Amino acid sequence: SKDGNLLYFVSDMPKGMGGKDIYVSRWENEQWSKPINMGKELNTRQDEVFPFVDEVGNLYFSTSGRKGGLGGLDLYYAVLSKDGTKVIEVIHLDAPINSKADDFGIVTDGARTTGYFSSNRREGDDDIYRFTRESSLYECRELLLRVFDAETMQRLDSATIAIRSKIGGESTEKTLQTDADGWAHLCLASDNDFIFTVSKEGFIDNTVGFSTHHLTDDKPTRLELSLAHPVVLQTMVSQNEDPQKKKTSLTDSLQHLKHSRVRGIVRTETDRQPIEGVLVRLRNECDKKIYETITGPDGKYDFEILEGCDYTLIYSKDTYGTNTLKIARVPKKTAPKVLSNDVGLLKKGDIVQLDNIYHDQGKRTISPDAARELDKLVATMKRYPSLQAEILSHTDSRGEANRNKTVSQNRAQEIVNYMVAKGVARKRLKATGMGESMPVNGCVDGVICTEAEYRRNRRTEFKVVEIR
């Protein structure tokens, strides 16, 4: 094995499965342990020979004793337990590596990107062959999808997932449901684009895109989707054919309400300050009639609403991105309610720091916490179709400046690649490494700081380059 602690070898010692078997011995207390037969999951009544183990612990071997082979000795590999002594699954290597002749003695890496093996497929002589993988290691891309309640964070079982894609130029659609723990396991065609629509009774549908283009490894991908409960709405006093300003009062007390209302404050996304002059439109989805109001210096708006109908709120102002919120209908004969809905708007030039996207010194990997935060950014990109963003990655001041610039550029690119894999068009994103040039505190060269202070500078931001 890679660490030198496990030795796999072939033996015809007594009490085997038959013929030659593969055994494993562990280096313990400065000596090799008693050999363990790899068991009937791997060994057969025929010979198992030429063992090789790659750097991730897959055990390769050749045998003619298993069903489904192409003829003669065929190459297989076994997926092993963490301790390397038990067989979980045995997998046959397809053509062109295996043939009708004897194929054996493979040496390769864990992803089988390239390697060597021996074969007598040509005129019966044993020759050494070299191979290079030109496609995905697997026929499909494994995706683990978890659905959870956006409010309680509890996993949602029996949620329906509709999957749409185009394979071979033809549109396809299939559905499946999450299990008791909120998980669904999918195997997606490589180099393809997908749209997932997740639904469950009592929740608002959530639709996201996912792409298997540009995925450079064969590791399973994990995607988490939240479902939100519909906002509860009720009645409306009057309607008019044309859009109109609605006279509203923000001082109504709940006990004096004859009808439900939806109200809130429109704020900047960066510093959460109220925005004056925002046009807020309320559209009744039953009759398509529209009501309008414009926010004052306090950024507030207020509408009466009608029971039994869905609504759409649309917020717009010059130089800001237009934001849209859908509000689901509620049953009739419900007591009047006041619904509070504050909303944030982005404008060109905004720079927003992404929470939980901090990096270990010198590393660029994306942690699970960071992935959850990036999924929120992906949702923002999809909510604002015109949004073009620049991902800004920063390092602390330790290390050489040019290297920090390179490290930060790699981090920013990793984030862009992650978002592209989640369905955001690459042309809408730009990766920029800022290095150590813009610290948020006094931790510059020559200043000794705490680890927490250094960590604040190892941050990621996104800048709004264009939005309408």
Q: Where are the domains of the chain?
A: 6-132, 140-227, 244-345, 351-466
Question: What pLDDT is attached to residue 362?
Answer: 46
Domain 244-345: assigned CATH number: 2.60.40.10
Q: Do domains 244-345 and 351-466 have the same CATH topology?
A: no
Residue 465 and residue 449: Cα distance in Å, rounded?
33
The CA–CA distances, whole Å, from 148 to 5, 182, 202, 224, 383 equal 42, 7, 13, 8, 20
- If phi over 0 gives left and psi between -120 and 50 gives alpha, with beta otherwise, what is residue 286? alpha
- Amino acid letter at 412? A
Share of the chain above pLDDT 70, in %: 86
Does the structural domain 6-132 have CATH classification 1.10.287.1080? no
The structural architecture, per CATH, of the domain 140-227 is Sandwich (2.60)
Question: What pLDDT is attached to residue 240?
Answer: 40
Residue 468 and residue 461: Cα distance in Å, rounded?
20
Are 72 and 62 contacting, i.e. CB atoms less than 8 angstroms apart?
no
- Cα Rg, the chain, nearest whole Å: 30
The overall pTM is greater than 0.85: no
Question: What pLDDT is attached to residue 383?
Answer: 79
421-468 tens-digit pLDDT: 888 899 999 999 999 888 888 888 888 888 878 888 888 888 999 887
Question: What pLDDT is attached to residue 11?
Answer: 96
Count the residues in the chain.
Answer: 468
Question: What pLDDT is attached to residue 249?
Answer: 44
pLDDT beneath 50, residues of the chain:
232-253, 360-362
Question: What pLDDT is attached to residue 28?
Answer: 92
Strand, coil or helix: 370: helix
Cis peptide bond upstream of 96, omega within 30: yes
The CA–CA distances, whole Å, from 448 to 408, 435, 443, 455 equal 21, 18, 7, 13
Does the structural domain 351-466 have CATH classification 3.30.70.3270? no
Question: What pLDDT is attached to residue 220?
Answer: 67
